[in-house]
Amino acid sequence: MNWGIFEGLLSGVNKYSTAFGRIWLSLVFIFRVLVYLVTAERVWSDDHKDFDCDTRQPGCSNVCFDEFFPVSHVRLWALQLILVTCPSLLVVMHVAYREAREKKHQEVAGKNGGRLYPDPGKKRGGLWWTYICSLVFKAGVDAAFLHVFHSFYPRYTLPRVVRCHVAPCPNTVDCFISKPAEKNIFTLFMVIAAVVCIALNLVELAYLVSKRCRECLLARKAQAMGLGHRRNWATSSSKQDDLRLGELIFLDSDAPPPLLPDHPRDHVKKTIL
């Protein structure tokens, strides 16, 4: 495995994530991926070999193992980790696409042609939606795999002995699982890590949505205040024009101008008549 490329991908994901996203990334790659690579594969390596049944009937052990373990924990975790980490890489690819478009635009339009994206890595527009969809997808994948694990292995634990009565077993036989206590510990550890990751994804999702709603409300408030200032300015300028028209009528008169009524334009019409 090329760890240089892997490190580059991780640094890119970490760069364009929020604080919650960085915590999620550390939790996934330290407490899930490394635990999976270092310990889980070794614990489950002798899963089938040490599954013993108290019978010598050919094929009985294989059938019973397939009955109680339709999918191995290790393979389920591998598929889960692949699906969980892919959306984060899509965010990095979206940023790279933006940077490539910006570079091409600068080459065609020049420095005075403006910019397509003021900050290609800032979560605005399509990149914001990509990030939101990645959070929803990651939380959904973890939740779906937790449901699958619970349906295959109730309460996420393995019994010490299972009873099997599937053909070609001659009768009900007892089968013994290898290292059930150790496997239960690692299974619960991975389940708890997945639950924490789901909680972090939901917290980050709520944070980003609330932040965007707050920004929209502030923008609307600022727009409404701007319209109010414009209306006040237009009203005050109209009143000043009416006062100027009233003063012009009495420039050649010896009598002082009377008090202006509420509607100066009506007073101007009456004076002219």
Identify the DSSP state of 124. Answer: -
pLDDT for res 113: 67
- CB atoms inside a 10 Å sphere around CB 84: 23
Question: Whole-angstrom Cα distance, residue 90 to residue 139?
Answer: 16
- CB atoms inside a 10 Å sphere around CB 190: 24
pLDDT > 90? residue 47: no
- Computed over every residue of the chain, the mean pLDDT equals 78
pLDDT digits (tens, 9 = 90+) for 144-173: 999 999 988 888 888 888 888 888 888 888
**pTM recorded for the entire structure:** 0.73
Banded model confidence at residue 73, pLDDT cuts 50, 70, 90: confident
The residue behind tokens 């109730």 is 154
pLDDT for res 204: 92
Count of helices and strands (H, E) across the chain = 9, 3
Banded model confidence at residue 266, pLDDT cuts 50, 70, 90: low
pLDDT > 50? residue 251: no
> Once rounded to an integer, what is the mean pLDDT over residues 193-215?
92
Question: Whole-angstrom Cα distance, residue 202 to residue 211?
Answer: 14
Q: Record the tokens describing residue 240, joined without a space.
A: 């000043």
Question: Whole-angstrom Cα distance, residue 128 to residue 150?
Answer: 33
pLDDT for res 202: 95
pLDDT for res 108: 77
Find the range with the poorest average confidence among 10-14, 117-121, 158-162.
10-14
3-state DSSP: the chain helix, strand, coil percent, rounded to 5? 70, 5, 25
- Phi (first) and psi of residue 173, to 5 degrees: -120, 155
pLDDT for res 53: 85
Most confident of the following: 14-23, 73-82, 160-169 = 73-82
**CB–CB of 131/208 below 8 Å?**
yes
The H or E element containing residue 162 is: strand 161-164
Q: Output b/e per residue, 104-130; b: 16+ Cβ within 10 A.
A: eeeeeeeeeeeeebeebbebeeebeeb
pLDDT for res 270: 45
Which residues, 6+ apart, have CB-to-CB distance to 55 below 8 Å?
Answer: 61, 169, 170, 173
pLDDT > 50? residue 74: yes
Name the H helices within 158-272: 180-249, 264-272
Q: Record the tokens describing residue 143, joined without a space.
A: 């939740």
- CB atoms inside a 10 Å sphere around CB 9: 14
pLDDT for res 206: 94
pLDDT for res 205: 93
> Once rounded to an integer, what is the mean pLDDT over residues 182-207?
93
Most confident of the following: 13-27, 84-98, 174-188, 236-250 = 174-188
Most confident of the following: 52-56, 69-73, 174-178, 202-206 = 202-206
- Phi (first) and psi of residue 260, to 5 degrees: -75, 140
More confident residue, 56 or 137: 137
pLDDT for res 168: 82
The three-point CA angle 5-6-9 to 5° equals: 85
pLDDT for res 143: 95
Share of the chain above pLDDT 90, in %: 16
pLDDT for res 232: 61
